[in-house]
Chain A
Amino acid sequence: MNGIADFFIIVFILLGAFLSLVAAYGVIRLPDVYTRNHAASKAATLGVMSVLLGSLIFFYVKDGYFNSRVLLGIVFIFMTSPVAGHLISRAAYNSGVKLWGQSVQDDLKSAPHMKKTASKDH
C-alpha cells in the first residue's frame, strides 16, 4: 500500500515540476503574447495542480493528516487560471498588441464592436 502511494507521490510531483518547466520554456520560445499565453495558462495550471495533489497525498500517507486547504487550493487554481489567461490576452488585444507576422486570420479586427477603437488608431 505504501509503495503504491510513494509511486503516485513521486509521479505527481515530478510531472508537475516537468510541466512547469515546459511552461517556462514555452514562454521563452513562442513568438507572440497570445501563443505564449497558451503555454502559460495551460501547462502551468496542470503543473501546479499535480504538485499540490502530490503533497496532499504525501501528508495524508505519512502523517495521516488530510489538509483540506490544499484541496481548496487545487479547486481555486483550476477555476481562476483560465479566466486569468483570458483577461491577459483580452487586455493585450485591446491595448493594440499585434499578432505574430505569420498569423493566418484575424476575425476580431473586423468585429462590429471593435470598429470604433480600430479606426481611432489610423
Chain B
Amino acid sequence: MAFQILLNMFLGFMWMFLTVTYEPVAFLKGYLFGLLIIFVFRRFFESRFYLLRVIAVINLLFIFIRELILSNIAVLKVLLRPKIEVRPGIFAYTTVLKEDWQITVLSSLITLTPGTLVIDVSPDNKVLYVHAMDIEDAKESIKSIKDTFEKAILEVSR
C-alpha cells in the first residue's frame, strides 16, 4: 500500500514537471491522473488497489466514534438508575487476528464498546480476557459486534 501511495506521489510530481506549473492544483491534477493510471495497472501490484484500503480505514474510524457514543449512553443508563444492578465478570474471547497492531486496535475497540474492558492478552496473542459490566446480556450481543470489528480490521489488512 505504501509503495502505491509513493508511486502516486511520484506521478503527481511528474505531472508538475511535464506541465511546468509548480502549484498545489497542478500536483492534485497529476495525483488524480496517477490514481487512474494505478487503477488501470492494478493487476501488476501484489496488494490490492490502495483506495479500497483507505476506505476501510475510514470505515474503522467511524465504527470507533459510533462505539464511543453508544458506550457512553450504556454507562449513563447503568449509573443513573437508582439501584445499581450489574453482574460483572471476566470472560475469555478467542480472536482470529494475528499481528500485533490488529490486536491493539481490536482491544481498544473492545474497551470503547458498551460495557466491556480488556484486562489481559494471553502471551500467544490468541485469547483476550475481557471484563464485562453485565455479563448476561453482554455476551451474546458483544460476540456479534466483535465479529463486525474483526471483519472491519481484517478488511484493512487484506
* A residues apposed to B, CB below 8 Å: 19, 22, 25-26, 29-32, 34-35, 37-39, 41-43, 45-46, 78-79, 82-83, 85-86, 89-90, 93, 99-100, 102-109, 111-114
Contact = CB atoms under 8 A, between A and B. Distances in A.
Contact of B117 (A34, A107, A112): A34
Interface string B84-113: 101111111000000000000001100110
A93 B119 contact: yes
A82 B127 CA distance: 18
Q: Quick one: which of A85, A106, A107 has the most chain B CB within 10 A?
A: A107
B115 A90 contact: no
A22 B79 CA distance: 8
A37 to B, nearest CB: 6
A43 B114 CA distance: 11
A89 B131 contact: yes
B135 A113 contact: no
Given A39-B75, A42-B71, A99-B88, A108 B119 contact: yes
A38 B114 CA distance: 9
